[in-house]
Amino acid sequence: MADLTRMTATEIAALIATGEASAVEVTQAHLDRIAAVDDRVHAFLHVDTDGALEAARAVDARRAAGDELGPLAGVPVAVKDVLTTKGVPTTVGSKILEGWRPPYDSTIVRRLREAGTVMLGKTNMDEFAMGSSTEYSAYGPTGNPWDLGRIPGGSGGGSSAALAAYEAPLAIGSDTGGSIRQPGAVTGTVGAKPTYGGTSRYGLVAFSSSLDTPGPCARTVLDAALLHEVIGGHDWRDSTSIPQPVPDVVAAARAGATGDLTGVRLGLVTEFSGEGAEPGVMAAFRDAVDALTKLGAEVVEVSCPHFQYALPAYYLIAPSECSSNLARFDGVRFGLRVGDDGVHSLEEVMSLTRDAGFGPEVKRRIMLGTYALSSGYYDAYYGQAQKVRTLITRDFNAAFEQVDVLVSPTTPFVAFPFGSRTADPYQMYLADLFTIPTNLYGGPGISVPCGLSEGLPVGLQIMAPTMADDRMYRVGAALESVIGTLTPPAL
Amino acid sequence: MSAISREEVAHLARLSRLAVTEEELDTFAGQLDVILQAVARVGEVAAADIPPTSHSVPLTNVLRDDVVVPGLTRAEALSGAPDSEEDRFRVPRILDEDEPPSPRGEGPAEGKA
C-alpha cells in the first residue's frame, strides 16, 4: 500500500470506510513518522500514543460491528496545545501550566472524539498563542519542514509543521491575529480561521476573548472544510457562539475544485498594494490572482482606508484583554506556584509565580495591556482602538458591497531564520499585517498555498463576510486546482 | 522622547503582579517604548463620534435552558491545584505577620489559627 502518511484525510477516510486500511494501521503509520522525524521538527509537545491507538481500535470495532462512521472516522489529528484535553497535558506553550492535566475536554476536542478522529497529541505554539514563530514557546521552537533553520510561523507553528512533515493529515489551530493562517502560509499548508463565534471557545485557554477563534489546518482545502464541519456550529457553553448552522463549506470546496469562478468578484485592497511585503511574495501573489481571473473571476480594486491602523489597534485590544484573562494564573487553582515557603505573602507568591512562569513576550503584553487600560490612558489607547475597530468593520462592510471576497498575501514575508525578529518585538508583530483586520472584523479568512519565493512557500489569503465561510473555501479550492499542493524537500 | 519611563514600567509590573528583575526592567522599558510609540498611531484617526466595538458578534442576553448538567467533582476541581487541604485550595498566608496588633492590645490577634 502507498505511504499512508502522504495521503489526504479524504483518502484515508475512504480507505478506512472500505476496510482497505484499519484505523490502527493509519494511526501507527503516523506515530512511526512522528518517532522518525519529530526529534528534528519538534512539532509536538506531547504524543498520546496509548490514547491514539485506543481511539483507533474503537473506530475499527465500530466498523466491524457495522456502525455508520462519520466522514473523518479513524483519521489522525494533531491538536494545538491551547485546547484542553481531559487527562492529557495542556501547557499552552508555557511553564506556568507545565504538567497540568485538565479535568475536562474543550468542545472542539469533544467533537473531534465524537466524530471518531484519532488525536495523536498536542502541538507546539508560542506561549499563550502570542507570537508568529514558535520562538516564544517555553519548550523550544518548532522547525519549518521546508528548512529546519527557519520558523514554521506562529503561534500555531507546531500544527502546521506537523502537516508539512507528514506527521498528521489534519490539525487544529487557533487564530487571534493570524495564528492559523500565517503558519499555514509559511509551511505551504492550508489554514482556515472561521467566522468568530462559528467555532466554540469553550476549553480554549483564553488570550484575547473577543478575537480568539479555533479552526482547521490541513494539506488540502477540502480536508480543511471537512474538519471545519466537524468542529463548527453552536455551543451553549460559549456565550459568544453563533446560533446558526455551519455554512456549507464542504460543498463549497467541492464546487471550487471544479475550477470555475465565473461571476466571482475578488477585491484587491488598495492599502495592501505591497508596502512592507517582500517582492517575491508580491510576485507569487499577483501570479495567483492572474490564475484566478483565468478561472473566470473578476478583479475589483477596493479601498479600505482604516486597514493601516489595524495593527496598532490590535496591539492595544489584544494585550488589554490578555492582561485581564491571564490574571487567572495566580498559583492558586492550577499550574505553577513559586515562593510558598511560609515567609512570602500570598501577593508575593503570586508575583514570584507569574515572573517565573511567564516568558518575556507574555510579560510585555500583560504590561502593555495594563497600561492601555489604566485610568488616564484608557480613552487614548484602548477606547480609541475600539473605535478604530468599528471603522475597520465599516471598511469590510463597504468592500463586501462591491466584491464577494477580498484577497491578499497571507503574510508579508516567507519563513525567516530563527532569531532574526526576536530582538525587536515589533518586527515580529509585522508578520500579522495582512491577517489582523479580519480578526478585528470577526469574519473568516483562509490561507492557501499559491507558489514559492526563494524556494519557500507563499500563501494567498481569502477573506469573506461574516458567516460566509463557504465563499473562501470555494475560491481556495479553485486556486488549489491550479497550483496543486506544495511538497517540501525530504526531511 | 520616550513614551514610557523605566519607573512607569516598574509600576506596571507591580500592578500586573510580575516580580521582574532589574535586568528585565531595563529590557522591557526599551521594548515597551518602541511598541507604545507604534501603537499610538491609533490617535491619528478622527473617531470622536464613532461608537466603540468591543465584540464582533452582536448577541445580547444569551441564555440557556435551566437544566442541571453534571459539573466537575470536588476532586477534579482540585486535581490541578499546587496545594490543597480539607477539600479546599490552600493558599499562602494572606495577613502580614507585621500587622499592627488589635486595638485591645494584649493577646493573640483574633481569627488566627
Mean pLDDT of A298-314: 98
Give chain B positions within 8 Å (CB) of A276: none
Confidence of residue B98 (pLDDT cuts 50, 70, 90): low
Would the pLDDT of A296 be above 60? yes
Would the pLDDT of A354 be above 80? yes
- In the prediction, which pLDDT does A170 show? 99
Give chain B positions within 8 Å (CB) of A390: 47, 50-53
Active site residue A155: yes
Instruction: Write down all domains in chain A, each with its CATH number in brackets.
Output: 7-249 (3.90.1300.10)
Would the pLDDT of A477 be above 70? yes
Give chain B positions within 8 Å (CB) of A101: 79-80
- Distance CA(A382)–CA(B39), nearest Å, equals 10
The ipTM value here is 0.92
Residue A14 distance to chain B (closest CA, Å): 37
Nearest to A210 among B31, B56, B64 (CB): B56
Mean pLDDT of A451-455: 97
Residue A391 forms contact with B (CB below 8 Å): yes
- Distance CA(A423)–CA(B9), nearest Å, equals 19
Which residue of A lies nearest to B94 if distances are taken between CA atoms? A346
Give chain A positions within 8 Å (CB) of B80: 100-103, 333-335
Q: CB count, 10 Å around CB of A218?
A: 27
Give chain B positions within 8 Å (CB) of A100: 80
Q: Which of A384, A390, A436, A467 to mutate to test the interface with B (most CBs of B within 10 A)?
A: A384
- In the prediction, which pLDDT does B21 show? 93
Q: Greater confidence, A368 or B100?
A: A368
- Distance CA(A157)–CA(A173), nearest Å, equals 9
Residue A150 distance to chain B (closest CA, Å): 24
- Distance CA(A235)–CA(B62), nearest Å, equals 12
Q: Answer whether residue B27 is part of any domain.
A: yes
Q: How many CA atoms lie within 13 A of A68 on its CB side?
A: 1
Q: Which of A72, A69, A17, A6 is nearest to A232 (CA)?
A: A72
**pLDDT, tens digit, for every residue of A210-252?**
999 999 999 999 999 999 999 999 999 999 999 999 999 999 9
Confidence of residue B60 (pLDDT cuts 50, 70, 90): confident
Mean pLDDT of A255-284: 95
**pLDDT, tens digit, for every residue of A112-122?**
999 999 999 99
| CB A437, CB A393: distance < 8 Å | no
Would the pLDDT of B108 be above 80? no
| CB A44, CB A50: distance < 8 Å | no
Residue A268 forms contact with B (CB below 8 Å): no
Fill in the DSSP letter of residue A74: T
| CB A270, CB A301: distance < 8 Å | yes
Confidence of residue A273 (pLDDT cuts 50, 70, 90): confident
Confidence of residue A205 (pLDDT cuts 50, 70, 90): very high
**pLDDT, tens digit, for every residue of B6-49?**
999 999 999 999 999 999 999 999 999 999 999 999 999 999 99
Mean pLDDT of A472-481: 98
Q: Answer whether residue B89 is part of any domain.
A: no
Specify burial of residue A301 (Cβ count, 10 A radius: 0-12, 13-18, 19+): exposed
Identify the three-state secondary structure at position B109.
coil
Give chain A positions within 8 Å (CB) of B72: 103-104
Q: Answer whether residue B111 is part of any domain.
A: no
- Distance CA(B96)–CA(B106), nearest Å, equals 18
Exactly one of A132, A155, A160, A208 is catalytic; name it.
A155
Residue A127 distance to chain B (closest CA, Å): 16
- In the prediction, which pLDDT does A204 show? 98
Residue A177 distance to chain B (closest CA, Å): 14
Q: CB count, 10 Å around CB of A379?
A: 10
Cell representation of residue A321: 484583554
Q: Answer whether residue B31 is part of any domain.
A: yes
- In the prediction, which pLDDT does A60 show? 98
Confidence of residue A274 (pLDDT cuts 50, 70, 90): confident
Nearest to B47 among A366, A388, A426 (CB): A388
Domain range spanning residue B30?
Answer: 6-42
Q: Answer whether residue B106 is part of any domain.
A: no
Active site residue A80: yes
CATH classification of the domain holding B24: 1.10.20
What average pLDDT does the structure give for chain A? 97
- Distance CA(B28)–CA(B33), nearest Å, equals 8
Q: Answer whether residue B17 is part of any domain.
A: yes
Q: Greater confidence, B62 or A223?
A: A223
Q: Answer whether residue B19 is part of any domain.
A: yes
3-state secondary structure A276-304: CCCHHHHHHHHHHHHHHHHCCCEEEEECC
Q: Let me know how many helices (H) and strands (E) chain B has, helices first.
A: 3, 2
- In the prediction, which pLDDT does A371 show? 96
Residue A366 to residue B16, Cβ atoms within 8 A: yes
Active site residue A324: no
Domain count, chain B: 1
Identify the three-state secondary structure at position B28.
helix
- Distance CA(A358)–CA(A303), nearest Å, equals 40
Exactly one of A137, A179, A320, A408 is catalytic; name it.
A179
Would the pLDDT of B106 be above 90? no
Would the pLDDT of A429 be above 50? yes
Long-range contacts, A468-471 (Cβ 8 Å, 24+): A468/A195, A468/A247, A468/A443, A468/A444, A469/A192, A469/A194, A469/A195, A469/A198, A469/A228, A469/A246, A469/A247, A469/A249, A469/A444, A470/A247, A470/A248, A470/A249, A470/A251, A470/A252, A471/A252, A471/A404, A471/A405
Identify the three-state secondary structure at position A61.
helix
Confidence of residue B59 (pLDDT cuts 50, 70, 90): confident
Would the pLDDT of B94 be above 60? yes
